[in-house]
Amino acid sequence: MLEKLIVFVEEYSMEAALEQLLPKMLGEIEFQVIRFQCKDDLFKQAPERLQGYASWLPDGWRILVLVDRDDDDCAVLKGRLETMAEAAGLRSKTAAGHGQSFQVVNRIAVEELEAWFFGDWAAVQAAYPRVPNTIPQRAGFRDSDAIAGGTWEALERVLKRAGYFSTGLRKLELARLVATHMEPNRNSSRSFQAFAGAIAAVLV
């Protein structure tokens, strides 16, 4: 039975989003989000943090490491995460195999956090009512994890056209407000669904 979930993230807006999302997904289970300055900072500092946890992590605690793919190769990035857990002396879900106990789950957000927002457009509309409701049906937006030219840039353009963020996207404000309205069960983003699957796995 999960007692506490610790989540490593690489930046402020993901932390802000998860502070709103995780209570909806975990119920009363305790969680802690540990934010690093960027992906490089996570890979620099997380190994030592994981080693520290390995020496005393209770049976009912799990660690979720969540990073953006950006321009990295998914397989290479996942390999780095798996190696980091193994070097710390922690069992990852991937290494443990199906049905076996684990301590760490590694997940990659296929593009960026903003892909999750495109995957739950109703939440974006609730936060910013002037945005068109037809965005998910438009060419280039149907697959929220494959939006060309940068997902947050695309979202900024849509919001600006609707009269929001005229001086530039404030990502932290956006993340907190949209995540407040998100419903995990309706998100069409594959990377969000992979994240939700990781949450489901630690709840077992």
Measure CA 22 to chain center: 10
The token duo for 65 is 């490491």
d(CA 116, CA 180): 13
Task: For domain 4-112+188-203, say whether CATH 1.10.150 is its number.
Answer: no
List every span in the chain annotated with CATH 3.40.1400.
4-112+188-203
pLDDT per residue as tens digits for the range 44-100:
999 999 999 999 999 999 999 999 888 889 899 999 999 999 999 999 999 988 778
The pLDDT-based confidence of 119 (bands split at 50, 70, 90) is: very high
Three-state secondary structure call for residue 65: strand
CA dist 113 → 28, 59, 141 (Å): 24, 30, 15
pLDDT per residue as tens digits for the range 162-177:
999 999 999 999 999 9
The pTM of this model reads 0.93
Paired sense of beta strands 61-68 and 30-35, if any: unpaired
